[in-house]
Amino acid sequence: MEHHMLAILLAVVIDFMIGDPPTWPHPVRWIGSGIGYLEKRLNQGKHRKAKGFFMVLLIISITFLTTLMLVSVFYQLHPVLGIVVEGLIIAFAIAQKGLKDAALAIYHPLRKGNMKQAREKLSYIVGRDTEHLDEKEIVRGTVETVAENTSDGVTAPLFWALIGGAPLAMVYRAINTCDSMVGYKNEKYREFGWASARLDDLANWIPSRLTACLIVIGNKPEVMNWKKAWKLFFRDARNHPSPNSGWLESAVAAILGVQLGGINYYQGQISERAKIGEPVVPLNKEHIVKTNNILFRTTLLFLLVLMMGGWLYELAAAWFESAIHI
């Protein structure tokens, strides 16, 4: 546990400083290539749900065993080497800097009034149609994405890293990548992606709720008191098709005093989602920067909670061991 905690701290520092340089080799890209290869060969004919389950099981098994063997080799050479390698791998599993930079890549064109470029940059991080969005809808898409991925891309892999080190952090990232590639409810993926989507929901269940609560705890509401923010947060947390995303979006909406949700278009097809939050203030481009600040503060608070939890576990384990030998 102690080595895991040091590796997690190192991973967060690495991600804060350099993120994911696009020219570096990245295990998530390799995982994505494996998913694409298997999907082309398995997502056809009968028993697609079973084939989809086999695919995600194979992907996470290979990911877990490969990471476990790699980390074990370096820990056997020297504990410091093990911590460094494990920290690097966990850094690959989190994306705080990448998420922040992606949001700022939308914010800067908006500041200059370049709507075309802002729409294009938004299309890189959302699945909805962006060609005709105005500033308010561009901001909504950005805020919703950063809110959701505060757990998906940052705190959830850290949570699993504390429990099982780099192997479980990468297993989580493999599950999340499977879901992002095949976990759709359209005709092509409804059956094949079922297992990936359900497993992703399960892996995110605890981290998303813990993260959402820390968002409300660690960030002062912009336009309302904390009592009303908590009330709105719990009221709207379940107003989302995803069992987890609504918790993050409702927390951010309560802190900013804005309303998220509403009508989106996917390949020209309308999708109307329930509204989340109250429109106390209208969405504007500065809410992108404010959401990035929420991401940063929440990441640090989540890290503090993880460290406290890890140290309490170590103390409890040491006490239990000493009690047995009395």
- The Cα 80–Cα 84 span in angstroms is 6
User: What single-letter amino acid sits at 312?
Assistant: L
Q: Which long-range contacts (CB under 8 A, 24 or more apart) does 227-236 make?
A: 228/254, 229/254, 229/255, 230/254, 232/277, 232/278, 236/274, 236/275, 236/276, 236/277
Confidence at residue 326, expressed as pLDDT on a 0 to 100 scale: 59
Q: pLDDT digits over 75-125, tens only?
A: 999 999 999 999 999 999 999 999 999 999 999 999 999 999 999 999 999
Q: Which of 313, 306, 308 is nearest to 154 (CA)?
A: 306
Cβ atoms of 306 and 162 within 8 Å: the answer is yes
Beta strand pairing call for 263-266 and 269-272: antiparallel
Residues spanned by the domain of 162:
2-324
User: What single-letter amino acid sits at 41?
Assistant: R
Confidence at residue 325, expressed as pLDDT on a 0 to 100 scale: 63
| pLDDT averaged over 10-residue windows placed end to end, the chain, 326 residues | 86 90 82 94 91 95 97 95 95 93 96 95 91 94 95 95 95 95 85 94 96 96 93 91 91 96 85 90 96 96 91 76 68
Residue 294 exposure: Cα atoms within 13 Å on the Cβ side: 35
Q: Would the pTM count as exceeding 0.75? A: yes
User: What single-letter amino acid sits at 285?
Assistant: K
Handedness of CA 208, 209, 214, 220 (dihedral sign): positive
What's the token pair of residue 39?
């999907």
Handedness of CA 263, 266, 271, 273 (dihedral sign): negative
Q: How many domains does the chain have?
A: 1
Quote the DSSP letter at residue 326.
-
User: What single-letter amino acid sits at 299?
Assistant: T
Confidence at residue 323, expressed as pLDDT on a 0 to 100 scale: 72
